[in-house]
Chain A
Amino acid sequence: MNAVLLEARAIAKHFGGVKALTDVSLTIRQGEIYGLIGPNGAGKTTFFNVLTGLYHPDGGDLLFAGEKLEASAPHKVAKRGIARTFQNIRLFGNMTAMENVMVGRHARTHAGVLGAVMHDRRTTAEEAAIRRRAEELLHYVNIADRADDLARHLSYGDQRRLEIARALATDPKLLALDEPAAGMNGTETAGLRELIEGIRRDGITVLLIEHDVKLVMGLCDRVAVLDYGQKICEDVPAVVQKDPKVIEAYLGGSVA
C-alpha cells in the first residue's frame, strides 16, 4: 500500500448554526483517485475550502505529506503542493488562457520587480520557462488552440479544462477537483475522465468531488460519502454503492 499523502483528523467547521462539517476524518494515499460525494449541501466544498486554507476550521487538523498544514494561508497551501479547481469556475476572465496558466506558475517562480524591469538573464530564462510550461499544459488539457483567447470567451467545457491546467501549473502533489464534470455533455465527460486518468498516471494524487455517480464509481479507487457534514462511509466504490446508509442519504434527501 502506498504512503499516506493527506490525513484529515476530526475536521469541524460551522457557519452560525449550520454544522457544515463535523468530525470528518479521512486519509488519502499517494497516487490514488479519491472520490468525495454526498447530497447537495453535505459539506464537500466546505471541506475543500478548509483543506486549501480559505476557511479556518473550528476543530481538527490536517497532515500533508507528514507535516501539519497551516490553516488560513491559501498561498502557502498551494506552495506545499495542493492545487484546486472551483465548483463555480473561477478563472481570470480578462486574461488569455495562456496567461491564466502562466499565473499558475507563480508559486514556483521567483522574479521580482527588479528582475522584471532589468530583464536580467535569469529572469528572461525563467519567463521563457514559464511560457513553455504553460504551452505544454494547454496542450496537455487539449485547448492549445484557444491559448490567445480571453478565458471568459472559452466554452464551458474548455473553461473547466483551463482551470485544471492552471492548477497543474503549480506542480501539485494533490489535485482537488470540485465537480469538474458539472454541466458537461457525455463526450466532454468521457474526455475529462481520460484527462484525470492521465493526471494520475503522471503521479499526481487526485481528490474528486462529483455528482456524476457513473464517473465517480468508474474512476475512483476509494470513495468517502458525506451527509449533513458527517462522513457516513469510506470504502472502494463497489462497497459504497451497496451501503444502506449511503442509499438512505441519497434517497432520503431531496436529491434522489
Chain B
Amino acid sequence: MMARQSLFERLRHDKRAAIAATVLMGLALAVFPFVIGSSLGNSWLRIIDFAMLYIMLALGLNIVVGFAGLLDMGYIAFYAVGAYLYALLASPHFGLHLPVWLIIPAGAALAGLFGALLGAPTLRLRGDYLAIVTLGFGEIVRIFMNNLNAPINITNGPQGISGIDPIHLGGITLAKPLTFLGYAIPSLHAYYYLFLALALLIVFVTIRLENSRIGRAWVAIREDEIAAKACGINTRNIKLLAFTMGASFGGVAGGLFAGFQGFVSPESFNLMESVMVLCMVVLGGMGNIPGVILGGILLTILPEVFRHGAGPLQIAVFGKILLDPEALRMLLFGLALVVVMLYRPAGLWPSTTRRREFRGESATDVLKEGE
C-alpha cells in the first residue's frame, strides 16, 4: 500500500519519472502480444484481443452507470447495433463492402442514436425501474435481430451473418500476417495493436470527459439530481448525452468485433453479455477509470482461466472428469462475483481511495479528522 502510494505521488510530481513510466508502459504493451503468443499460444492472444473490446464496452457503460448513475442493463444492444451495421455493410449478405473507416464511425453514430432513443422515454425513471426497462430494450433489439429474416431478410435471423470482411486499413488487411520492417506480424497481433490503439483512444476521451464541465454534470446528477437541476444543469439533455456517448463506445466495439470475428449472430448479444459488462464496471470500481479497465480485463480472463483450468484440475485431483467443466467454470465465476462484492462492496479499485492516495494524507490532516 505504501509503495503504491509513493509511486503515484512521484509520477504526479516528477515529469521525468512520468515520461519514463509512460515509455516503459508503452514498450510493455508493445511486446506483450509476442510474450503471450509464444508462451501461452494463440488462443490466449485471442482472449487478450477480446479483453480490449470488453474494456471499450466497460468504459462506455461506465459513462452511463458509473458517471451518470443510470443503471443500464441492456447495454449490449449498442454493441449489437455496431456489429450488425458492420456485418450488413461489409459482407456478401447484401454484397456491400464499404471501408472500415466509414463503417466504424457510422456504427458509433447509429449506436449513439439508439442510445438517445432508449434514453428519451426513460429519463424520468430511476433505479430498478430504469434497469428493467433498459433490460427490456436490450432483449427487444436481440429479438428483432433474431426475427428480421422475414418477410424481408435483413439480419438473416438466428443463423447470423457470416463471411464478414476482415478489417482492412488502406489496402492492408489484418486477416493475414503483415510484414513490417522485414518482420512478420501475425494477424492476431495486428488486431491487438489496432484494438489497443482504439481502447487507448477511448480511455483518453473518457478521461478528458471526466475532468470536464460535462463529466462533472454527470456525476452531479448521479449524486443528487434535484441539486443538479438547481445548479442550472439541464438534466434531461445531460442524461441523454450520457446514453449517447456510452452507446457510441459500444457501437465502435461492436464494429471491431464483427470485423475480428467474421461472423455475428443474435446469440452473441444476449442478456448475459449485458450483465457481464455491468459486472466489469461495478466489480472493477464504478466511476473510476483504472478500476473499470481492471474489471474488464479480469472478467474477460477469469472465465477463460476457469475454462482452461476446470478440466485438467479435476483430472489431477480425481483422476477423471466428474463435473461438467462448463458448469463448474460458471459456478466458480459466480462465486468470484459474490466473494469480491462481499469483501469489496465498492469494487476492487474504487475512486475514493484514489483521491486519498493522490492527496497524500499528512499527519495534520489525520489530526484534524480526529478532532
Contact = CB atoms under 8 A, between A and B. Distances in A.
Interface string A113-142: 101110100010011001000000000000
Contact of B231 (A94, A107, A127): A107
Contacts of B220: 92, 95, 103, 106
Contacts of A107: 231-233
Contact of B230 (A52, A95, A108, A111): A52
Interface in A203-224: none
B214 interface: yes
Interface stretch (A15-23, A74-82, A184-192, A233-241): A74-82
A90 interface: yes
B232 A113 contact: no
A170 B212 contact: no
A150 interface: yes
Interface stretch (B102-110, B221-229, B257-265, B272-280): B221-229
A60 interface: no
Given A78-B231, A90-B224, A103 B216 contact: yes
B352 interface: yes
A54 B229 contact: yes
A145 to B, nearest CB: 9
Q: Place the interface of chain A in its size category.
A: 35 or more
A93 interface: yes
B235 A75 contact: yes
B224 A106 contact: no
Contacts of A244: none
A130 B213 contact: yes
Contact of B214 (A53, A90, A113, A167): A113
A106 B232 CA distance: 6
Contact of A75 (B213, B224, B233, B241): B233
Nearest to A105: B213
Nearest to A172: B232
A54 B214 contact: no
Contacts of A115: 212
Q: Which of B205, B226, B227, B355 has the most CB of A within 10 A?
A: B227
Interface in B161-209: 205, 208-209
Interface residues of B, number: 29
Interface in A134-184: 148, 150, 166-167, 169-170
Contact of B234 (A75, A92, A127): A75
Contact of B208 (A108, A109, A117, A130): A117
B16 interface: no
B226 A90 contact: yes
B219 A95 contact: yes
Contacts of B208: 116-117, 119
B100 interface: no
A106 B219 contact: no
A94 B217 contact: no
B359 interface: yes
A69 interface: no
Contact of A111 (B213, B219, B223, B355): B213
A83 B216 contact: no
Contacts of A104: 231-232
A26 B208 CA distance: 46
Given A116-B209, A150-B352, A99 B216 contact: yes
Nearest to B356: A150
B150 to A, nearest CB: 40
B215 interface: yes
A220 to B, nearest CB: 23
Contacts of B233: 75, 103, 106-107
A96 interface: yes
Given A111-B214, A113-B209, A150 B355 contact: yes
11 contacts: A54-B229, A74-B229, A92-B219, A92-B223, A95-B216, A106-B233, A115-B212, A116-B212, A117-B205, A126-B213, A166-B231
